[in-house]
Structure 1
Amino acid sequence: MSCCPTRDRLSDLAGCAAIREEGRFIVERPRVPVARVREAADAYLAEGARLIQARGRVPEIRAGIAGAFTGRTVALLDDVLDLARLYGAVAGQQAVRLRLERIVTDSCRRFHVDQVGLRLLCAYVGPGVQWTADGGAHIGQAQTGAVVLLKGQRFANWTEEGHVLHRSPSVSGLPEAERVRLLLTVDAADACGAADDAPVMIAA
């Protein structure tokens, strides 16, 4: 068996490149991470940092954040880095910025478009991102583990016509034990002025 849970399904995830097509503003690739990644994500919520943010090439990011993972959670690190590589391949970026965050509140509840070129989202625990293409009349939602790519306003030749808005799902109405999300966000290394950020930030 491959030691890389994401690479096991590269033929499926290769469809993420469709986001580059004109008129395509969102791509969702349903995915159920393998058991060891799901178990690592649950363990990370219990013992890991509240926030990890890192910028650079994937080997540099691994070197900078590996210490924040244990033997019980290293499978999550491997999957996070595989998705960072996937993002880099789709976006044509050698360096990326990733953010792995434990979220326990309702945030970004308004539908919006990000001020980035291309963004990858994956909720390892909890509900995935919500989106709409018609102002909220119909709302889609990504499943836990799914890989979602969204065009932002800084994507080359981005237009208002047909664009997709997205927001974070509400967790406040869920049972207390379920009011937590573990969310990965991957952007270009210089997204949102991140070029001036420290290469690695880990917050307990």
Structure 2
Amino acid sequence: MRQSCPTRVPPAIPMPFQNIDRTDCFIVQEERHTEQEIMQAAALWNAHGPDLFLRRGSIEILETQLGALLPAGTKALAEDALNLVRRYQRLSGTAEIRFRLEKVRHDSCRRFHVDHVPLRLLCTYTGPGVQWKYADSETIYETPAGWITLLKGQLYPGWSTKGAVLHRSPPISDRPVPVTRLLLTLDHPDACGMGRQ
């Protein structure tokens, strides 16, 4: 028997990613208690890595390009991100993936929205995670750092507004202590203008 979709249960209960193919399921979250080695690597990336690493390609290409610029001590972060790429590829069936690893120090996207993609995978390594809510509700959930969030976008086959889940970046500019979010986003290769180069 198949497990129910997590969109109508508390977000603390992780569900397998394959539930995303259900017509009534718009979000799947997986709880993770990220290893200390990965968290230390994320902190080092924040200190020494580029503000934005944005590429499209196969897993092999992404691994080569990411490996070419890894700051010292960040290998565990790269390995974790590439493992998520492999999981995303199995779900999406795409040969190439748009890979975005970004330091976010501002309110990057404050409005709740649905992405113009088939599927989007998000993982915030440092700082607060993605916020989300049902389209017909005002209750806002904030995802803990390290958790994996898989969201259906408007281009997912059979997507409809009924039961849809909206999301946004958490506002961070008004926090008393400056915050740097390290956010991994995985998408279809043509997402957000990433046309073939």
TM > 0.5: yes
Q: For 1:93 and 1:134, how far apart are their aligned partners in 2?
A: 28
Corresponding residue number in structure 1 for 2:98: 97
The CA RMSD over aligned residues, in Å, is 1.7
Instruction: Give the number of the structure with larger relative contact order, counting CA–CA contacts within 8 Å between residues 6 or more apart.
Output: 1
Corresponding residue number in structure 1 for 2:7: none
Percent identical: 40
Letter in structure 1 aligned against 2:127: G
Q: Across the two proteins, how many residue pairs are aligned to each other? A: 185
Letter in structure 1 aligned against 2:48: E
The superposition leaves residues 19-61 of structure 1 with CA deviations (integer Å, 9 ceiling, x where unpaired) of 1111100011111211110100001100000000111111111
Task: Write the mapping of 1:37-116 to structure 2, written as runs, cut at 5 A.
Answer: 37-116=38-117
Task: Write the mapping of 1:112-131 to structure 2, written as runs, cut at 5 A.
Answer: 112-131=113-132
Bigger proportion of residues as helix = 1
TM-score after normalising by structure 1? 0.86
TM-score after normalising by structure 2? 0.89
Q: For 2:155 and 2:192, how far apart are their aligned partners in 1?
A: 10
Is the Cα–Cα contact under 8 Å of residues 53 and 101 in structure 2 kept in the other structure? yes
The ranges of structure 1 where at least 4 consecutive aligned residues each deviate by more than 3 angstroms after the TM superposition are none
Name the SS of the counterpart of 2:123 in structure 1: strand
Structure 2: stretches of 5+ with no match in the other structure: 1-12
Query: 1:99 deviation in Å?
Result: 0.1
The superposition leaves residues 131-170 of structure 1 with CA deviations (integer Å, 9 ceiling, x where unpaired) of 1104451111111000000001011111111101111101
Is the Cα–Cα contact under 8 Å of residues 54 and 65 in structure 1 kept in the other structure? no
Note if 1:193 corresponds to 2:161: no
Structure 1: stretches of 5+ with no match in the other structure: 1-11, 199-204
Name the SS of the counterpart of 2:194 in structure 1: helix
Q: For 1:191 and 1:23, how far apart are their aligned partners in 2?
A: 24
Letter in structure 2 aligned against 1:39: Q
**How has the CA–CA distance of structure 1 residues 57 and 116 changed in structure 2, closer, same or farther, with 3 Å as cutoff?**
same
**How has the CA–CA distance of structure 1 residues 92 and 151 changed in structure 2, closer, same or farther, with 3 Å as cutoff?**
same
